[in-house]
Chains A and B, each alone.
Chain A
Amino acid sequence: MSVVPAHLEEVTLRATGAVARRQFISRISRYVLLAASLIGVAILIYLAYETLQAGASRVTWHFLTNYPSRFAERAGLRSAIIGSAWTMSFTVVLAFPVAIGTAVWMEEFAPKNAVLSFVKLNLANLAGVPSIIYGILGLAIFVRFADMGPSIMAGALTLALMIIPMTVIAAQEAIKQVPQSIRDASLAVGATHWQTVWSHVLPQALPGIMTGVILAVSRAAGETAALIMIGAFSLILYDNTSPFDSFTTVPIQIYSWTVRPANLGFQVNASAAIIVLMAAVLTLNLIAAIIRERFRRE
Chain B
Amino acid sequence: MPELKVAVGRAAETVGAPTSDVPMTFTGEYLDEQRLILKPEEQALFCLSNVNFWYGHKQALSNVTLEFPMNKVTALIGPSGCGKSTLLRCLNRMNELIPGVRIEGKVEYRGTHIYGPSIDPVEVRRRIGMVFQKPNPFPKSIYENVAFGARVNGYRGNMDELVDRSLRQAALLDEVKGELKKSGLALSGGQQQRLCIARALAVQPDVILMDEPCSALDPIATLKIEDLIRELVKDFTIIIVTHNMQQAARVSDYTAFMLSDESGAGRPIEYGHTQELFTNPRDKRTEDYITGRFG
Interface residues of A (CB under 8 A from B): 112, 179, 181-192, 195, 199-200, 204, 298
**How far is A188 from B148 in the complex, measured between Cα atoms in Å?**
11
Instruction: List residues of chain B with CB within 8 A of the CB of A179.
Output: 136
With A181-B134, A184-B94, A185-B196 already in contact, the answer to whether A191 and B140 are too (CB < 8 A) is: no
Chain B residues with Cβ under 8 A from A189's Cβ?
125-126, 129, 148-149, 152-153, 199-200, 202-203
Q: How far is the CB of A92 from chain B (nearest CB, A)?
A: 28
The residue in chain A whose Cβ has the minimal distance to the Cβ of B150 is A189
Closest to A189 in B: B149
CB neighbours (8 Å) of A187 from chain B are 94, 97, 125
Judged by a CB distance under 8 angstroms, whether B259 is at the interface is: no
Residues of B within 8 A of A188 (CB): 92, 94, 125, 129-130, 132, 200
B140 near A181 with CB under 8 A, answer: no
Q: Closest chain B residue to A193 by CB distance?
A: B122
**Those of B145-203 within 8 Å (CB) of chain A:** 148-149, 152-153, 183, 196, 199-200, 202-203
Interface size class of B (residues with CB under 8 A): 20 to 34
B interface: dominant SS: mixed
Inter-chain contact B132/A191, CB cutoff 8 Å: no
Q: Does B94 lie within 8 Å of A185, measured CB to CB? A: no
Chain A facing B: main interface SS: helix
Residues of chain A with a CB closer than 8 A to B92's CB: 188
CB closest residue in chain B, given A192: B122
A192 touching B199, Cβ below 8 Å: no
The CA of A190 and the CA of B125, in the complex, are separated in Å by: 5
Q: Is B295 an interface residue (CB 8 A)?
A: no
Residues B152 and A190 in contact, CB atoms below 8 Å apart = yes
Asked if residues A199 and B148 are in contact (CB atoms below 8 Å), the reply is yes
Contacts of B126 in A (CB 8 A): 189-190
Q: B203 to A185, Cβ gap below 8 A?
A: no
A184: chain B residues within 8 A (beta carbon) = 94, 97, 130, 132, 136
How far apart sit A182 and B138, CA to CA, in the bound complex (Å)?
6
A112 to B99, CA, bound (A): 8
Contact of A191 among B134, B149, B196, B202 (CB under 8 A): B149
Q: In the complex, how many angstroms separate the beta carbon of B214 from the nearest chain A beta carbon?
A: 17
B23 within 8 A of A: no
